[in-house]
């Protein structure tokens, strides 16, 4: 099911063909060393495990601007003042890149595809135009839409939030925008729809009624879900947790918080999580922690792949490149049976000073290879090492009569106390953390 190379009127990445798998011995920087789409690992092809997606916003829109200076990257597809023409050129460049790198999916915010208009109706017209074109591009290439979303954080009208804005008229505007973005997602056969609430939160609790805002967010999500289901959307709705940035405090803080919210407001049947590595670290967690929390609740839906920087406390969205850390992720990924409905979206950007178009290729080749290598190692660990047995052995006392009576709720606290009295003082049992850690290096 690999994608067919498509090039628009103009070739933007000239001299670059389809990126091929050449194996770990290859010196070719423009080839995969580990990502072999058709290779089977743990019963599925790599393509099926990962369902890699390209993030439209970072890869085709973001030119590297930061709070200290403007963009640095010359994206030739943006050189057009007519928003309709510009959007078409950008989409040509996008599908050329996506098919050359060989990713089966892409993801977008509504106004990544085409610039927002100056009225709701003009924006809707623009979206209609560009999604007609996207339908053609998807058909020609076989590339699919992993998820769509609405940008409810850039326009100044959302400075106090979208669904959680204290002004009802802004909430209504957000509703119209999400309706259009969900319609676009449905039209393009999108498999999922994402909510990331960058401004769904607060800057100061002094002027905020948190309970009211959370009730409003739940009401809004129910409305979107009901509308989607009534209009034939069968995919998942995902919430993407992040603790802060741009808001001081975001309501979708981390996986545990979101799961509590979904349970409280009766949304667990339709919503799962889209977890992002750098968001996990901002919440003072590891990504594998977030994945395990989601998997335990049956809502490990999708992943935004990137990494932060250990010296910085913000969302740097760098490409993943650390095999040791990724093996830790892939262990949880494989043990959870993979993602439910989602895929691995590179919500990552080449650095501001990586200004050549070819850098976009290096970045994605590196990210895909890092995941592929880690998947192979994690599978090797799970099939050939003592890892699972060692972990199981730590809990073996729960397989004894008393331990299993405890697990199944057959012991009272008095009985538990009596067992302790009979045992007397206990011998320490090592957690053997270093032994576990060494297994990863041994298999890398």
> What three-state secondary structure class fits 386?
coil
CB of 170 to ligand XUL, least distance (A): 18
Which of 58, 109, 216, 364 is catalytic? The answer is 109
Q: What secondary structure letter does DSSP report for 82?
A: S
Q: Which two tokens stand for residue 67?
A: 């709070």
Candidates 159-167, 223-231, 274-282, 289-297; binding stretch for Co ion (CB under 5 A): 274-282
Site for Co ion in 342-371 (CB under 5 A): 347
Q: 254 is in the binding site of which of Co ion, ligand XUL, none (Cβ under 5 to 8 A by kind)?
A: none
Query: Binding residues for Co ion, how many (CB under 5 A)?
Result: 3
- In the complex, minimum distance from the CB of residue 194 to ligand XUL, in angstroms, rounded to a whole number: 6
In degrees, rounded to 5, the angle at the alpha carbon of residue 357 between the alpha carbons of residues 353 and 359 is: 60
DSSP annotation of 283 reads T
Q: Which is nearer to ligand XUL, 105 or 196 (CB)?
A: 196
Q: Kindly tell me which residue out of 92, 213, 270, 276 binds Co ion, with binding defined by CB under 5 A.
A: 276
Residue number with CB closer to Co ion (276 or 379): 276
CB environment 256-268: b (16+ within 10 A), e (fewer): bbbbebbeebebe
Residue 242 binds which of Co ion, ligand XUL, none (CB < 5-8 A, kind-dependent): ligand XUL
Say how many residues touch ligand XUL, by CB under 6 A: 10
* 334/382 Cα distance (integer angstroms): 9
| d(C-alpha 235, C-alpha 225), whole Å | 10
Cβ nearer to ligand XUL, comparing 131 with 149: 149
Q: Which residue is nearest to ligand XUL (CB)?
A: 196
Shortest distance (Å) from residue 274 CB to Co ion: 7
Other C-beta atoms closer than 10 Å to the C-beta of 296 total: 13
Q: Could you tell me the smallest distance in angstroms from the CB atom of residue 118 to ligand XUL?
A: 22
Among 112, 276, 290, 379, binds ligand XUL (CB under 6 A): 276
Residue 112 is among the residues annotated as catalytic for this protein: yes
| Local structure of residue 32 (DSSP, 8 states) | B
Q: Which is nearer to ligand XUL, 246 or 366 (CB)?
A: 246
315 binds ligand XUL (CB under 6 A): yes
Residue keyed to tokens 């999916």:
105
Identify the H or E element spanning 192.
strand 192-195
At closest approach, how far in Å is the CB of 266 from ligand XUL?
24
Rounded to whole angstroms, the Cα distance separating 32 from 369 reads: 6
Q: List, in order, residues 6 or more apart from 50 with CB less than 8 Å away.
A: 343, 344, 368, 371, 372, 375
Q: Which of 110, 254, 270, 304 binds Co ion (CB under 5 A)?
A: 304
292-311 binders of ligand XUL (CB under 6 A): 304
Match 């850390």 to its residue by tokens.
Answer: 325
Other CB atoms within 10 A of residue 319 CB: 22
Which 139-168 residues touch ligand XUL, going by CB under 6 A?
149
Structural tokens at position 133:
């074109």
Query: Could you say which of ligand XUL, Co ion, none residue 183 binds, taking C-beta under 5 to 8 angstroms by partner kind?
Result: none
Binders of ligand XUL among residues 238 to 267 (CB under 6 A) are 240, 242
Cβ-based nearer residue to ligand XUL, 240 or 379: 240
> Could you say which residues in the range 179-238 bind ligand XUL, by CB under 6 A?
194, 196
Peptide bond into 246 cis (omega under 30): yes
Stretch that binds Co ion, among 18-26, 265-273, 296-304, 408-416 (CB under 5 A): 296-304
φ, ψ of residue 243 in degrees (nearest 5) = -80, -30
Residues 6 or more apart in contact with residue 5 via CB below 8 angstroms:
17, 18, 96, 99, 100, 141
CB of 427 to Co ion, least distance (A): 47
315 binds, among ligand XUL, Co ion, none (CB under 5 to 8 A by kind): ligand XUL
Q: Is 254 in the site for Co ion (CB under 5 A)?
A: no
Active site residue 289: no
Q: Which of residues 340-359 bind ligand XUL (CB under 6 A)?
A: 347
Q: How far apart are CA 125 and CA 220, in angstroms?
A: 24
Query: 112, 145 in Cβ contact below 8 A?
Result: no
- Cβ–Cβ < 8 Å for 48, 2: no
Q: Closest Cα to residue 276, out of 198, 387, 334, 380?
A: 198
CA distance 107 to 123: 19
Here's the x/- map for ligand XUL, 102-141, by CB under 6 A: it reads as -------x--------------------------------
Q: To the nearest 10°, the Cα dihedral for 360, 105, 84, 18? A: 50
Q: Which of 92, 112, 254, 317 is catalytic?
A: 112
Give residues in contact with ligand XUL (CB under 6 A). 109, 149, 194, 196, 240, 242, 276, 304, 315, 347
Give residues in contact with Co ion (CB under 5 A). 276, 304, 347
Which amino acids are annotated catalytic?
109, 112
């Amino acid at each position: 099911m690999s994608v067919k190379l498509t090039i628009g009127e103009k070739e933007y990445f000239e001299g670059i063909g389809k990126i091929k798998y050449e194996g770990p011995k290859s010196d070719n920087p423009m080839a995969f060393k580990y990502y072999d789409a058709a290779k089977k690992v743990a019963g599925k092809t790599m393509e099926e495990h990962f369902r890699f997606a390209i993030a439209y916003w970072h890869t085709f829109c973001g030119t590297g601007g930061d709070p200290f200076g403007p963009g640095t990257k010359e994206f030739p597809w943006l050189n057009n003042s007519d928003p309709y023409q510009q959007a078409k050129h950008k989409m040509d460049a996008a599908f050329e890149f996506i098919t050359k790198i060989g990713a089966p999916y892409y993801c977008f915010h509504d106004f990544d595809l085409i610039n927002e208009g100056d009225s709701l109706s003009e924006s809707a017209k623009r979206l209609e135009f560009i999604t007609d074109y996207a339908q053609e591009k998807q058909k020609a290439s076989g590339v699919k839409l992993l998820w769509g979303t609405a940008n409810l954080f850039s326009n100044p009208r959302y400075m106090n939030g979208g669904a959680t804005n204290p002004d009802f008229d802004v909430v209504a505007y957000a509703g119209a925008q999400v309706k259009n973005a969900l319609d676009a997602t449905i039209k393009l056969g999108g498999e999922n729809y994402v909510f990331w609430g960058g401004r769904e939160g607060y800057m100061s609790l002094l002027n905020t009624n948190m309970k009211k805002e959370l009730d409003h967010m739940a009401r809004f999500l129910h409305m979107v879900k009901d509308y989607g289901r009534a209009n034939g959307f069968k995919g998942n709705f995902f919430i993407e947790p992040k603790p802060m940035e741009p808001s001081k405090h975001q309501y979708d803080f981390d996986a545990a918080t979101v799961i509590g919210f979904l349970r409280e407001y009766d949304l667990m049947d339709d919503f799962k999580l889209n977890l992002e590595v750098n968001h996990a670290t901002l919440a003072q967690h590891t990504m594998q922690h977030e994945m395990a929390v989601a998997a335990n609740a049956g809502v490990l839906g999708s992943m935004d792949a990137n990494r932060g920087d250990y010296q910085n406390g913000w969302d740097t969205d760098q490409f993943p490149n650390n095999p040791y850390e990724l093996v830790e992720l892939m262990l949880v990924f494989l043990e959870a049976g993979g993602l439910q409905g989602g895929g691995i979206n590179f919500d990552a950007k080449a650095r501001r000073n990586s200004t050549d178009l070819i850098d976009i290729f290096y970045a994605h080749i590196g990210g895909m290879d890092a995941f592929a290598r880690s998947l192979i190692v994690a599978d090797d660990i799970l099939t050939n090492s003592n890892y699972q047995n060692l972990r199981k052995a730590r809990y073996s006392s729960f397989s004894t009569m008393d331990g299993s009576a405890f697990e199944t709720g057959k012991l009272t606290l008095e009985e538990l106390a009596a067992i302790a009295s009979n045992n007397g003082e206990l011998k320490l049992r090592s957690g053997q953390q270093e032994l576990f850690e060494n297994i990863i290096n041994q298999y890398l």
